[in-house]
Structure 1
Amino acid sequence: MAEQVSEVKGEIGAVRIANEVVAIVAGLAAIEVPGLSGMSGGVVGGIAERLGRKNLAKGVKVEVGEREAAIDLYVIVDFGVRIPDVATQVQTSVKRAVETMTGLKVVEVNVHVQGVAFGKEEEPEEVETRVR
């Protein structure tokens, strides 16, 4: 798969922004939203995984044109949050970050909720045994 880039020609040259850069910006903006547990592998992976710092574009699909971008995010939300509110905050945060950092106009931010995280399960306390 060829790497796509957005190119803006200016007076002194061109600025090219790779799709991967737009995806990383979108992913970082998304995980800052309270109530979002992490990102999912989406259509390709299908297995929900927490977003690590190693793969910042995980769960983000972007289409970038010369001046516009469309973004799909595959997310996992925390249990107990109001999903529409979290999704709206993610859309706003991602749109603002991508437009500010890249200069591209974001025409869509689609949030696909792939799962719910129930938090860390508590480990059972060790019980003293009566026999040795």
Structure 2
Amino acid sequence: MIKIKNHLGTIGISTGYLRQLISATAENCFGVAGLNAYGAKQGVYAMLKRENTTKGVIISQDGDELVVDLHITVTYGVNVGAIVDSIIHKVNYALTNEAGVSVKAVNVYVDEMTD
């Protein structure tokens, strides 16, 4: 649960909702082939072949702002810098406008390239 304080009080937003929002936004960007499992918990889910729609999304809170880490696979032959810039912009926009949270940073890690 992410808790954010404003002039009206404290708002709690589920991390599951935020992960799904970020995952859907990133996967719909041009050139993104998918998200990669990262960390022990996501690695176990991947080994057990359970469907995990939010793999590759790590959220941490810094004060009232979020820091998002994404681990992605990109399609071979596309401009990686342009893809990363697009993902950063779209994730920041989605979190700010749809969830109403401030974003400190969106870090995108390109782990693989695929055909």
Same fold (TM over 0.5): yes
| 1:36-95 Cα shifts (integer Å, max 9, x gaps) | 000000233569x7xxxx533111000135521000000000011111110110111101
TM-score (norm 2): 0.81
Tell me the distance in 2 between the aligned counterparts of 1:112 and 1:25. Answer: 18
TM-score (norm 1): 0.72
Matched residues, number: 109
Partner of 1:38: 34
Q: Tell which deviates more after alignment, 79-88 or 14-23.
A: 14-23
Tell me the distance in 2 between the aligned counterparts of 1:40 and 1:34. Answer: 16
Partner of 2:12: 16
Relative to its length, the structure with more strand (as a share) is 2
Query: What 5-or-longer segments of structure 1 have no aligned partner?
Result: 119-132
Aligned mate of 2:109, from 96, 99, 112: 112
Partner of 1:68: 65
Runs of 4+ in 1 over 4 A off after TM superposition: none
1:21 is displaced (CA, Å) by: 1.7
1:103 is displaced (CA, Å) by: 1.3
Query: What 5-or-longer segments of structure 2 have no aligned partner?
Result: none
Tell me the distance in 2 between the aligned counterparts of 1:66 and 1:17. Answer: 14
Tell me the distance in 2 between the aligned counterparts of 1:68 and 1:80. Answer: 34
Residues 40, 58 of structure 1: 8 Å contact kept: yes
Residues 23, 57 of structure 2: 8 Å contact kept: yes
Task: Name the larger-Rg structure.
Answer: 1
